[in-house]
Amino acid sequence: MKFRNATPDDSESIAHVQVSTWRSTYKKIVPDTFLENLSIEERKKRWTKMIEDPNYLIYVAENKKDGIVGFISGGKEREGHPFYTGEVYALYILTAYQRQGIGKALLLPLLQKLRANGHSSLLIWALRDNPSRPFYKAIGGIPVAEQTLTLAGEDLKEIAYGWNDLSKLLFHLQQKEKG
């Protein structure tokens, strides 16, 4: 598995991973109409713009067999939280590749860059019913906030997980990589 910075040429593959993962992970959680209307072409356009924007940090996981199988994006916390300065915006891995350490491996370069950019704490939002949510607890995230997200007319609860010390999280993940 290779981990690297995303390039504009990766936009379609990232869009494919995002749409596929949403459809497999959020079935029976997110309204079917929303999932059915997800468009790889529309997402590709969004990812192209984000990859070209220096405010977004985007990394991909790829292998020779299937190409890009996961990605992570992040940057400055977007809602002006008074304590958490960095944020993971998205972390998606194709179902067949989940629970293999790819999420942790994708976090490493993002966290390193966030820390280099002066961020000392981290936040990530996840749907309350997301079956992958325990991953954030397993790496030390603590629930710090809740909010409602409306998709296709349905209100869904989101939970924010926070890490007060980005350096501690980074050290923890680096030790797991070595061990």
Which CATH number is 2-178's, of 1.10.10.1100, 3.40.630.30, 3.20.20.10, 3.40.50.300? Answer: 3.40.630.30
- Size (the chain), residues: 179
Residue type, 105: A
Q: How confident is the model at residue 93 (pLDDT cuts 50, 70, 90)?
A: very high
pLDDT > 90: what percent of the chain?
88
Q: Can you tell me which residue has the tokens 């990766």?
A: 10
* pLDDT tier at 171, thresholds 50, 70, 90: confident
By CB atoms closer than 10 A (0-12, 13-18, 19+), residue 71 is: buried
pLDDT digits (tens, 9 = 90+) for 25-62: 999 999 999 999 999 999 999 999 999 999 999 999 99
> Exposed, middle or buried by CB within 10 Å (0-12, 13-18, 19+), for 41?
exposed
Gap between the Cα atoms of 168 and 22, Å rounded: 30
DSSP-based three-state secondary structure for 49: helix
- Of the candidates 148, 131, 62, 46, which has an alpha carbon nearest to the alpha carbon of residue 102? 62
Please give the pLDDT value at position 81.
84
Residues β-bridged to residue 59: 5, 72
The predicted model gives 69-82 an average pLDDT of: 94
Distance separating alpha carbons of residues 167 and 120, to the nearest angstrom: 7
pLDDT value at position 175? 79
Mean pLDDT of the chain: 94
pLDDT tens-digit map of 60-72: 999 999 999 999 9
The pLDDT of residue 177 = 66
Task: State yes or no: pLDDT of 178 exceeds 90.
Answer: no
- Beta-carbon contacts of residue 120 (< 8 Å; ≥ 6 apart): 85, 86, 165, 166, 167
Query: What pLDDT does residue 163 have?
Result: 96
- Token pair in block for residue 179: 């061990």
Res. 176 pLDDT band, cuts 50 70 90: low
pLDDT digits (tens, 9 = 90+) for 126-152: 999 999 899 999 999 999 999 999 999
Work out the pLDDT band at 10, boundaries 50, 70, 90.
very high
Residue 12 vs residues 18, 23, 38: alpha-carbon distances, Å: 10, 16, 13
Check pLDDT > 60 for residue 2. yes
Q: Whole-model pTM?
A: 0.94
